[in-house]
Amino acid sequence: MTNSLQSLFKSIAQAKNEQALRSQLSVEAREHFAAKRSGLFFLDQIPFADRRLQKALQFGLTTEHNPVVRYLVERHAPVHEALVVSPKVWSLICPRADHWHVMAGPIVSNGQLVGAVGFTREQATPAFNAQNLVDLSALCLHLSTWAATVRSQHCPLRADCLTFRELQIAQLVALGRTNAEIGIELWITENSVKQALKRMFRKLEVSSRAEMVAQLSTSTKVYSFNNEAS
> Does 61 score more than 80 pLDDT?
no
- Position 82 scores a pLDDT of 94
CATH code for the domain in which residue 212 is found: 1.10.10.10
Q: Report how far residue 56's alpha carbon sits from residue 226's, in angstroms, rounded to the nearest whole number.
A: 14
- Tell me which of 150 and 55 has the higher pLDDT: 150
- Averaged pLDDT for residues 31-47: 82
Q: Report how far residue 80's alpha carbon sits from residue 137's, in angstroms, rounded to the nearest whole number.
A: 12
Does one domain contain both 171 and 121?
A: no
Mind listing the pLDDT tens digit for each residue in 138-156? 999 999 998 888 766 654 4
- Position 221 scores a pLDDT of 40
- Position 139 scores a pLDDT of 95
CB-CB contact of 109 with 71 (8 Å): no
Domain count, the chain: 2
Range of the domain at 79: 3-154
CB-CB contact of 164 with 111 (8 Å): no
Does one domain contain both 113 and 17?
A: yes
Mind listing the pLDDT tens digit for each residue in 79-120? 999 999 999 999 888 888 999 999 999 999 878 888 899 999
Q: Does residue 103 form part of some domain?
A: yes
Does one domain contain both 131 and 195?
A: no
